[in-house]
Amino acid sequence: MQAAACGEFEQHRNQDTAGDGEKQERHWRGDSAGRGDEAARQGGHYRQSPAKAPHILVRGSYHGGMSMPSFPLESTTLALDGPVGPLEVAVDLPEADVPRRPITAIVCHPLSTEGGTMHNKVVTMVARALRELGIAVVRFNFRSVGASAGNFDHGNGEQDDLRAVAAWVRAQRPGDVLWLAGFSFGAYVSLRMAGELQPQVLISIAPPAGRWDFDGVQPPPQWLVVQGEADEIVDPQAVYDWLDTLDAPPELVRMPDTSHFFHRKLIDLRGAIQHGVRRWLPEIG
């Protein structure tokens, strides 16, 4: 990886998990090759502005009985008490004409020290893809990002942040199953926490294999990985080689001519996600 290509990752131990398995993989062509949405045409990595929405601030003591807001009935932003102070959260609900499913998905953003936020265009496209399927989506800023308190903690404290958000979701939406998704560093954090949180579905976008320690991760059986084949930050072959070592590999979608930030391929990413998870959706009652 060249440092000039955003230098997104600090060097960590290479993944050396042993095992065999046949991976399921598809090459995604999509129905919009060559087309991107407005966010993709902006160029740059993190230019998408947060959507304007009401903001709810909730204060309390995380370790002493956290004060929690009710899950909102409309899309909004709010603040939860996290392990080291407030965590900035955005809740994205399906449109009124979309039948809602009993699922809440938490989406984790890319590397905090390289400009990653919950407003990253890949993160918001993942959220859009899931909302269009009737899924409630929760995005949040890891500690040190935006209005979230604390300092960057190399993925360790960020796992605590995800744990706090998941606890709030499960307390407020006990009838929903939990899905997790993450892009880049967010894929690393969500994979590290998958064994503990036991999501029904995990979606990993450009998981940074070879850059962060994936030893011992426990993804669920219903696991989708989407990887751009022209990724300049995460080595696609390192991802494929890592997946080859797993006993239970995921469904793998390879996206040709696709960079790390899915420039001009965001609509294709949306289609790959929706197609990949559709068979895991519960029936609408």
Q: How buried is 175 (Cβ within 10 angstroms: 0-12 exposed, 13-18 middle, 19+ buried)?
A: exposed
Taking CB atoms within 8 Å and a gap of at least 24, the contacts of 198-203 are 200/103, 200/280, 201/105, 201/277, 201/280, 202/250, 203/105, 203/126, 203/179, 203/273, 203/276, 203/277
Contact 189, 111 (CB under 8 A): no
> Which of 188, 191, 106 is closest to 155 using CA atoms?
188
**Fold topology of 24-278:** Rossmann fold (3.40.50)
Q: Which pLDDT belongs to residue 284?
A: 80
DSSP 98: S
Candidate from 57-71, 184-198, 233-247, 269-283 with smallest mean pLDDT: 57-71
Read off the pLDDT band of 40 (50, 70, 90). very low
Kind and range of the H or E element at 194? helix 185-197
pLDDT higher at 275 or 7: 275
Q: How buried is 58 (Cβ within 10 angstroms: 0-12 exposed, 13-18 middle, 19+ buried)?
A: middle
Q: Is the pLDDT score of 57 beyond 50?
A: no
Q: Rounded to an integer, what distance in angstroms lies between the CA atom of residue 179 and that of residue 176?
A: 9
> Which of 185, 181, 171 is closest to 214 using CA atoms?
185
Q: Which pLDDT belongs to residue 283?
A: 83
Q: How confident is the model over 84-107, as pLDDT tens digits?
A: 999 999 999 999 999 999 999 999
Q: Is the pLDDT score of 52 beyond 70?
A: no
Torsion over CA of 43, 203, 275 and 281, rounded to 10 degrees? -140
> Which of 86, 34, 23, 12 is closest to 257 using CA atoms?
34
Q: How confident is the model over 202-259, as pLDDT tens digits?
A: 999 999 999 999 999 999 999 999 999 999 999 999 999 999 999 999 999 999 999 9
Q: Which pLDDT belongs to residue 68?
A: 78
- 230-251 b/e (C-beta count within 10 Å ≥ 16 → b): ebebbbbebbbebbebbeebbb
Read off the pLDDT band of 28 (50, 70, 90). low
Q: How many helices and strands (H and E) does the chain possess?
A: 6, 10
Q: Is the pLDDT score of 44 beyond 90?
A: no
* Three-state DSSP state, 84: coil
pLDDT higher at 215 or 48: 215
Domain range summary for the chain, segments of one domain joined by +: 24-278
Contact 103, 135 (CB under 8 A): yes
> Which of 35, 46, 16 is closest to 110 using CA atoms?
46
Q: How confident is the model over 146-201, as pLDDT tens digits?
A: 999 999 999 999 999 999 999 999 999 999 999 999 999 999 999 999 999 999 99
Q: Please name the amino acid found at residue 137.
A: V
Query: What is the longest distance spanned by two Cα atoms in the chain?
Result: 52
